[in-house]
Structures are given as C-alpha cells and as structure tokens.
C-alpha cells in the first residue's frame, strides 16, 4: 500500500477516513470465502463495527472509532489463505505495523492498533489491556454469541473437525484453539469467552445479542449428541467449567 500524504487543507481525520477506505479496498478480496472461512470474513468485520456505539460507552467513551475500525479490519489478516504466507514471515503484529506505517495515524495510535490486533486472540481481559484492546476483544466475542455467530463457528470449524467424538463426546476442561478435537468443544471454548469479558455491563450486552439462546442451543445439541452416542449427557458439567462463576445465571 502506497503511503498516503495529507494534502494541504485536509484534516488528519479526513486523511484517516480516506486511508481506511483504501485499507478496506485492499483487504476486501482477502476476506472473501475463497480466501477465508465464513467466521472471519468481511461480514464479521462489519458486524463488529456496528457494536462500537454500544461498547465504547462501557469504556468511558475513550476508544477512537477510526482506530477501532482499523483494528477490526486487520485482526484476522492471518486467517486469510491468500495472506497467510506473507503474514507468517514477520508475524501478525509486525505485519500490521508495516501496514499502519503508511497511514496518517499518529505513532501512538498505530501502536494501540497493533497491540489490540496482537492481543485480541487472548480473550481474558487483562490488567494490561488498553481500552481499544478491550473493545476489540469484546466485539469479536459478542459477534460469536448471536445466531449468525453460531453458524459462523460451524462454518469455520465444521469443515475441519467432527461435530462430536463417538467415544468421548463430552468433558470440557478448557482447551486452546490449536488443541480442539470437535466442534462441540469449540462451542464450549467460545462459551468461556463470556466469563472473560471485562465487565458485567459487557456481559449484559452479550445477553442482549443472544448469549442465552446460544447456551440453549448447546444444551439442545448435547441432548442429541448423548442420544446418538449412547453416552451420559454431561453438558451441565461442561457449561459449569466454561462459564465459571456465571453458570448459575443460566
């Protein structure tokens, strides 16, 4: 991407908006289904953007919208098959920093965006997380709790993993993404993100967008899995592990 210089008479915000349009046009082809799974495509980024107006007030209205949009468009570049080799050579954070160097964002803004992209995969809210990082983590998580999000989990993971294990379909102990064996366990992993949100207000926002229905779906799924495998249904134990102290609310 060529460096964008700010012409005379153009404000920094106008230059940033122009750059964001250029960014979206550049990465849009990499977020099509031929290059990336349904759970990480352009509509996912768009849905995250719509959450800004509800997440920002929970963080004291200190998250810059343009930084949030940039982070949203960059947070899944490593998931794109057409970009994977290029990103892997330098790592996700450094790749993003290289892109951001061409932008009108200040060096402080560039750093916040790059750090947010790097940290978004670590869903538990950390004391070191800045507001932008928390906003990105929250939007990414909440977009998995609605009906479209549930389908996107299945679209992404269902093409690579079985829905359940015939012999040991249940038993969630909290696994990392790279260690997942079944789609059922991925649903449980995503469920655990609820307890990782940074505040009760963020959890209320998750409830607004369908988290309770998501839990109901998992129970329905587990009922069928137990029936098909003739195994005891221990979904409640799994939900207790995933939800931690919030299990009793569901």
What does the pLDDT read at residue 4?
52
Inter-axis angle of helices 211-229 and 183-191, to 10 degrees?
Answer: 150
Closest to 117 (Cα-Cα) out of 66, 74, 64: 74
Mark out the alpha helices in 28-106 (DSSP H runs): 42-50, 52-55, 65-74, 84-90, 92-100
What's the token pair of residue 91? 């790592």
**pLDDT tens, 95-124?**
999 999 999 999 999 999 999 999 999 999
What does the pLDDT read at residue 3?
44
What is the rounded CA–CA span in Å between residue 89 and residue 58?
A: 37
Closest to 149 (Cα-Cα) out of 159, 141, 160: 141
List every span in the chain annotated with CATH 1.10.3210.10.
12-142
**pLDDT tens, 41-92?**
999 999 999 999 999 999 999 999 999 999 999 999 999 999 999 999 999 9
Confidence of residue 6 (pLDDT cuts 50, 70, 90): low
The predicted model scores a pTM of: 0.93
pLDDT tops 90 at residue 129: yes
Confidence of residue 2 (pLDDT cuts 50, 70, 90): very low
**pLDDT tens, 11-45?**
999 999 999 999 999 999 999 989 998 789 999 99
What does the pLDDT read at residue 178?
83
What does the pLDDT read at residue 156?
85
- Which of 3.30.300.130, 1.10.3210.10, 3.30.420.40, 3.40.50.300 is the CATH number of 12-142? 1.10.3210.10
**pLDDT tens, 141-196?**
999 999 999 999 998 888 889 999 999 999 999 888 888 999 999 999 999 999 99
How many Cβ atoms are within 10 Å of 245's Cβ, its own excluded? 8
């Amino acid at each position: 991407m060529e460096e964008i210089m700010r012409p005379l008479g153009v404000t920094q915000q106008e230059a940033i908006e122009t750059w964001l349009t250029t960014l979206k046009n550049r990465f849009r082809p990499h977020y099509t289904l031929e290059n990336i799974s349904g759970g990480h495509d352009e509509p996912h980024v768009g849905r995250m953007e719509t959450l800004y107006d509800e997440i920002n007030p929970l963080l004291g209205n200190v998250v810059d919208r343009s930084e949030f949009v940039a982070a949203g468009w960059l947070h899944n570049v490593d998931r794109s098959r057409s970009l994977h080799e290029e990103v892997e050579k330098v790592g996700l954070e450094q790749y993003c920093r290289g892109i951001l160097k061409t932008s009108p964002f200040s060096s402080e803004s560039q750093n916040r965006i790059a750090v947010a992209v790097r940290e978004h995969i670590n869903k538990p809210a950390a004391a070191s997380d800045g507001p932008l990082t928390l906003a990105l983590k929250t939007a990414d998580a909440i977009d998995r709790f609605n009906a479209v999000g549930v389908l996107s989990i299945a679209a992404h993971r269902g093409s690579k993993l079985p829905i359940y294990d015939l012999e040991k379909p249940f038993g969630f102990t909290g696994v990392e993404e790279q260690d997942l064996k079944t789609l059922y366990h991925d649903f449980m992993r995503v469920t655990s993100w609820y307890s990782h949100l940074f505040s009760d207000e963020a959890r209320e926002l998750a409830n607004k967008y369908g988290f309770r229905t998501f839990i109901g779906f998992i129970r329905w799924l587990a009922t069928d899995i137990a029936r098909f495998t003739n195994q005891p249904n221990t979904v409640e134990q799994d939900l207790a592990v995933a939800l931690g102290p919030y299990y009793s609310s569901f």
